[in-house]
Structure 1
Amino acid sequence: MTALPSENCSVQNQLPQANHSLNVSCLLSLIILGKILLNIFTLGMRRKNTYQNFMECFCISLALVDLVLLVSISLISYFRDFVLLGIRFTKYHICLFTQITSFTYGFLHYPVFLIAGIDYCLNLSKTTKFSCKCQKLFYFFIVILVWVSALAYVLGDPAIYQSLEAHGTWYQCPTYVSAQSYWLSFSMVMSLFVAFIIAWPEIITLIQAMRITSYMNQMVLYFPLTSLSQSNVISRKVLLSKLIVCFLGTWSPFVVLQVILLSIPVQVPAYIEMNIPWLYFVNSFLIATVYWCNCHKLYLRDTILPVDPFVNWKCCFIPFTIHSLEQTEKLVSVTVC
């Protein structure tokens, strides 16, 4: 008779833990579902006339990995304890999969940034000459290699393995916060700030003279102040102001968000922080940087420029390539002040 109270207490202790496990799994599922919907919305909003590149392939692969993670968590939450292909899956694996994904995402910011930048530089300099099919296969191979390398590093690092063993429980599931994303965001925001300060007079002049015109059946901004007779130094400075206006015109809310996240001590889990809007923001920054660093090549008519899925950079280069734009294109608005 004396054993009954202790058994009742044991049952009462297990019920809150079970409810907490259910709440954690449901919360993770809702967060990842929201991220997947954001990924789909972003991929749907992009311009479809962009050519294949590394960043595009990686964004699609990230969306697929998020989907696999959501399906895995949902299946484990529903069945709770089952065997698949000889492997027993329990609620413990919800935390384990989330932690492994967080560590993998957290180590991918620098490699993706570096590879995408190299890809744009090589395409702009015409160093790589592959057919469309071979180029897609090459990007597919690089993306798979990046994912496998990051996952192998996560699973092979003794410190990470000990962290997974120490905290891999269903009632205590801390997630990894990436330092790479913080410093990458900090570097980009500071670069934008310095470039904005340097080109501040030109930016004001451009905004005052900016017009909206129709070019190639698209609405673009037109800056009529650029002259091909300018020296390379002046052209580079003018191009910098144009790039800043175009970039901030599209990504200014995201820049403000990055400033807020950098200013306040917010720890965003890596499986949330690595998302497709963030990657396209980095992509636009890389394209603008490659344009500015290769300013001398933008005067060539046969140069194939990287196309941004969100930012329309045509307004930066129309005066470089079309001399009589004001006679051939009809301006559709007055000067924007």
Structure 2
Amino acid sequence: MNISIPSILRGLGGKCLLNWALVFLQRNHICKSFLGVFSVSLAVVDTLLTLSVTALHIHADGHLLGLKLTRYHVCLLVQIIGEVYSALQWPVVVVAGLDHFSTITRRLKTTTKWISCLFVNCLLWCLVTLYVFLLSDFRPVMEEVSHNLIHQCWVFHTPQILQVATFLFLTLGCAVLHAVRSTSKNPPLKDQKTEQSSAHARRRVVHQTLNIFGNTWALFLFFLAVVLLLPVGIPAYLGLNIAWLCFLNSLLIAVVLCAVCPASQLAQGLAEVPSDSFCEWRFKFSLAAEERTRPQR
């Protein structure tokens, strides 16, 4: 798709403002998870990108370190960053899902977690950037006109958002079906009462998880569906943003909770739910159900 350079600048500026607003909103716990650390790094990269594109556009006929600056460099930079953002979508989802799983199942010590998140975040940026330059089939698209006449840039759209959203919703559906089917099996007679109470608690976890996620993100889901169904598509340089990462954070938490169903730990307040500034992950259990779901000694 062709987008004018002023429109690119306005889009990047609006994205930076939204990014930093969401970082400020989550400032109390943003560095407690991989997605939080990645959000801060994305806000920094977007800010540097916006400043660079603005400088290149203003000083299109200037020189920097012996290199003549033209509007071709604006288009080239936007296309490269868009390709990097598109390539980051799936690795971010995988790493964030593993991070949430380790948090809920308590597989990683919290004292060293932020160090691990910072290291993985830096490694991910480096590997994806090397992949785009060395291994991918990315080829910049430039108009065959003089740099003085360039007013628009060819910008790739990102299909990864639709792929990620579809995959995660299918995974969430499979996790819900697995939880429901596993609770409908007939348990052995000697453990029937305990198994039935545990099955009831797992069903309540799944039901409450879906209610919390749906009630919080219903409007965003409608907006996302409308945007994804538009024939124009989402420009790659706008596809990876912190609003999208906040939605992914809640969706991944819902997927892991439905898949793991730590009912007894949640009932006793032992399970740790990852930080989420939008969904309030509070589960309600009756006292009788809580007593029945406690492990027998």
Fold equivalence (TM over 0.5) = yes
Aligned residue among 117, 122, 127 for 1:144: 122
Matched residue of 1:107: which SS? helix
Alignment check: 8 A CA contact 2:75 2:142 kept: no
2: CA distance, partners of 1:98 / 1:302: 46
2: CA distance, partners of 1:129 / 1:99: 39
2: CA distance, partners of 1:180 / 1:256: 18
Q: Which amino acid aligns with 2:259?
A: C
Number of the residue aligned with 1:26: 6
2: CA distance, partners of 1:276 / 1:187: 20
Deviations 1:202-226 (A, max 9, x none): xxxxxxxxxxxxxxxxxxxxxxxxx
Matched residue of 1:178: which SS? coil
Q: Structure 1 301/136 Cα, relative in aligned 2: closer, same or farther at 3 Å? A: same
1: CA distance, partners of 2:26 / 2:281: 14
**Structure number with bigger Rg:** 1
Deviation at 1:109, TM superposition (A): 1.1
2: CA distance, partners of 1:321 / 1:284: 29
Deviation at 1:125, TM superposition (A): 2.3
1: CA distance, partners of 2:126 / 2:104: 28
**Structure 1 length-normalised TM:** 0.70
Number of the residue aligned with 1:124: 104
Q: Structure 1 28/130 Cα, relative in aligned 2: closer, same or farther at 3 Å? A: same
Is 1:59 the counterpart of 2:39 in the alignment? yes
Deviation at 1:242, TM superposition (A): 0.8
Number of the residue aligned with 1:294: 260
Q: Which has the higher contact order (CA 8 A, sep 6+)?
A: 2
Aligned residue among 219, 233, 242 for 1:267: 233
Matched residue of 1:159: which SS? coil
Number of the residue aligned with 2:69: 89
Matched residue of 1:173: which SS? strand
- Which deviates more, 121-130 or 60-69? 121-130
Number of the residue aligned with 1:164: 140
1:1-337 to 2 correspondences below 5 Å: 24-46=4-26, 48-49=28-29, 52-129=32-109, 131=111, 134-157=112-135, 159-160=137-138, 163-164=139-140, 170-171=150-151, 173-189=153-169, 230-296=196-262, 297-314=265-282, 316-317=283-284
> Is there any run of 5+ residues in structure 2 with no aligned partner, and where?
180-193, 292-297
Number of equivalenced pairs: 271
**Structure 2 length-normalised TM:** 0.79
Deviation at 1:82, TM superposition (A): 3.0
Alignment check: 8 A CA contact 1:299 1:321 kept: no
Percent of pairs with identical residues: 28
Q: Structure 1 292/257 Cα, relative in aligned 2: closer, same or farther at 3 Å? A: same
Q: Structure 1 44/249 Cα, relative in aligned 2: closer, same or farther at 3 Å? A: farther
Q: CA RMSD in A?
A: 3.3
Deviations 1:28-57 (A, max 9, x none): 111111111111222233373566110001
Q: Structure 1 78/45 Cα, relative in aligned 2: closer, same or farther at 3 Å? A: same
Deviation at 1:122, TM superposition (A): 1.5
Q: Structure 1 79/122 Cα, relative in aligned 2: closer, same or farther at 3 Å? A: same
> Is there any run of 5+ residues in structure 1 with no aligned partner, and where?
1-20, 200-227, 325-337
2: CA distance, partners of 1:26 / 1:166: 17
